[in-house]
Amino acid sequence: MDPITKMAQEFMKAWQRFRQSASVNLFRIDTDPSMHRDLWRLFRAIEMSRDNRSPYFIFNAPFANRADFYRAAIRTLADDYALIREGLGKDGVLIDPWKPPLESEGDSEYQFGSAVHAVWERVKVKTQFEYLMIILLPERIEIPEEWSMTVERLVLLFSSSKVRLAAADTPDSLLAGLCKEPDKRMLSGRFFISNSALQEYLLNVAAGGWGALSCNQQAKSQPKAKQAAAAPSDGAVGTTGAEAAASATRVLSADEAARLRTCMAQAAVASSERKMEDATASLHKARIICKQNGLTAHEAIIIMAIANTFLAGERTDEALAHYEESIMTAARAPAPVVVMQARIGLASTLFHGQIYDRAAEVYEQAARDAVAAESEVMGIEALRMAGTCHNMAGRIDDAIRCWNQALGVGNRISLAEINASTIHQVGQEFVKLCEKHGLTEQRRSVAQQIESIRQQAELRERNVAEIPAVL
């Protein structure tokens, strides 16, 4: 297993234990400021996950002065609360507005703690939130001797409330000595890998070292019927299934394959170091290799990676253009899974840019792509988001049409696919829409249909299990 995947998996296990614990006061994150941006993205993804019942408030102001840090934290808290209030309002849940009190002299931690408790008092009554998650990820810690003190004060302030606290530590382990009292506990997780370790790993992959060995071992452990779809050719950069098969007739020479792996490794290193221009330059070189060797599906994937890189660098127009180019290139392969993935990337970018009309159109196209890609789970997600876009643009009939289509797909899939899909979220959003517009009968019908989808899938699974084996 590569060091990045291993680190992420171990961190997520520790974080899950923290979320499920009823007695732990603090989660210490063993990390470095260079990793905070990736941590921020990870926490936002967790916050949006289906099983999360807590809003995440993340604070990243520099810790150069306690008073300044907490003033910035309270401003961020107010801004994030306003966004939560707006989002809940669109779902028909109304909570009271909140403005932070005027700045005053006094204990900075106490003022921040009071503000957090005020926010919790407003959201806890009318929502299903279980607690608030406060995460401190300062972009730099200039007064390390005060960092452990201020975190310990917050632990005390939040110890008897529904507020959870996570705080970034430094390589010097400033927080390791906290929560030593018998009635307090602390969990920790490591989210850090040095650039040198990352580069060493990736360049070994480029040379056909650890990564090649790992791929060979994985292929040997799989049934033969699956190896053709799971094991890419020498020139593969991440294709699976139909895309790998489409390129199987074109095998790169050893030199060309090594060049391609090197370009991909260099792009990954540059991305980890936030050198976006270098990353895109390496990806463009990799794209040329694919194009010259007729690896059209692989080229489409790399174009999508370029789009992702532009998006990470907040260069939205270039990202949109490359997603569209990836779609056209994948269609020539043909590689329907890549078409679908690039289309969803395009739609997601439009959605976050609040271009809801165009985003809805592209999400519906992605749902049609999902049929060709034989991915009902992604089809449901595309239809869910298409309906969301229509709903936010005030097109209620179109939202209902998309969500009804998603429920129709749900009637045809297995229980495992239902559990992996967002069909439950489709039902929740559909029910809220019906409640908002007084569609009482349709609301009842949707709720019954969601329950029926799961029951029918469970029944099909039981029937299959009960069929006796034919000797």
Q: What is the CATH number of the domain that holds 144?
A: 3.40.50
What is the spatial distance between Cα 223 and Cα 436, in angstroms, rounded to a whole number? 51
Identify whether residues 185 and 215 lie together within a single domain.
no
Q: 201 and 188 in one domain? A: no
Q: Residue 343's closest CA among 381, 298, 315, 313?
A: 381
Instruction: Please give the residue range of the domain that contains residue 225.
Output: 197-424
Same domain, 220 and 178: no
Q: Is residue 443 part of a domain?
A: no
Query: Which of 143, 171, 192 corresponds to the end of one domain?
Result: 192
Distance CA 411, CA 291 (A): 41
Give the pLDDT band of residue 195 (cuts 50, 70, 90).
Answer: low
Alpha-carbon gap, residue 299 to 295, rounded angstroms: 6
Q: Would 367 be classed as within a structural domain?
A: yes
Q: Are residues 163 and 297 in the same domain?
A: no
Distance CA 85, CA 93 (A): 8
Q: Looking at 424, 439, 460, which one is the last position of a domain?
A: 424
437 located within any domain: no
382 falls within a domain = yes
Q: Which of 138, 172, 192 is the last residue of a domain?
A: 192
The reply to whether the predicted model has a pTM over 0.85 is no
435 domain-assigned: no
Cα separation, 431 vs 442, whole angstroms? 8
pLDDT category, 227, cuts 50, 70, 90?
very low
Query: Under 8 Å CB-to-CB from 274, ≥6 apart: which residues?
Result: 37
Give the rounded distance of the alpha carbon of 54 from its chain centre.
16
| Pair 122, 243 in one domain | no
310 and 215 share one domain: yes
Alpha helices of 91-191 — where are they, by DSSP H?
Answer: 108-123, 144-158
Whether a cis peptide bond, with omega within 30° of 0, leads into 334 is: yes
Least confident of 57-61, 225-229, 301-305: 225-229
Cα distances (Å, whole numbers) of residue 250 to 124, 231, 232, 233, 325: 59, 15, 12, 9, 22
**How many domains are contained in the chain?**
2
Q: Coil, helix or strand for 376?
A: helix
Residue with tokens 């229509």: 390
| More confident site: 182 or 57 | 57
pLDDT band at 201, cuts 50/70/90?
low
Cα dist from 339 to 50, 367, 471, whole Å: 26, 11, 43
Residue 371 binned pLDDT confidence (cut-offs 50, 70, 90): very high
Are 157 and 207 in a shared domain? no
Q: Say if 96 falls within a structural domain.
A: yes
Residue 223 above 60 pLDDT?
A: no
Q: pLDDT at position 159, please?
A: 83
Looking up residue 246, the CATH number of its domain turns out to be 1.25.40.10
Is the pLDDT higher at 153 or at 471?
Answer: 153
Query: Per-residue pLDDT for 231 more than 70?
Result: no
In a domain, 470, yes or no: no
Give yes or no: residues 245 and 133 share one domain.
no
Let me know how many helices (H) and strands (E) the chain has, helices first: 20, 5
Same domain, 388 and 297: yes
432 part of a folded domain:
no
Spatial CB neighbours of 440, under 8 Å, sequence gap ≥ 6: 434
In this structure, the answer to whether residues 115 and 234 fall within a common structural domain is no
Whether residue 109 sits in one domain with residue 217: no
Do 160 and 201 lie in one domain? The reply is no
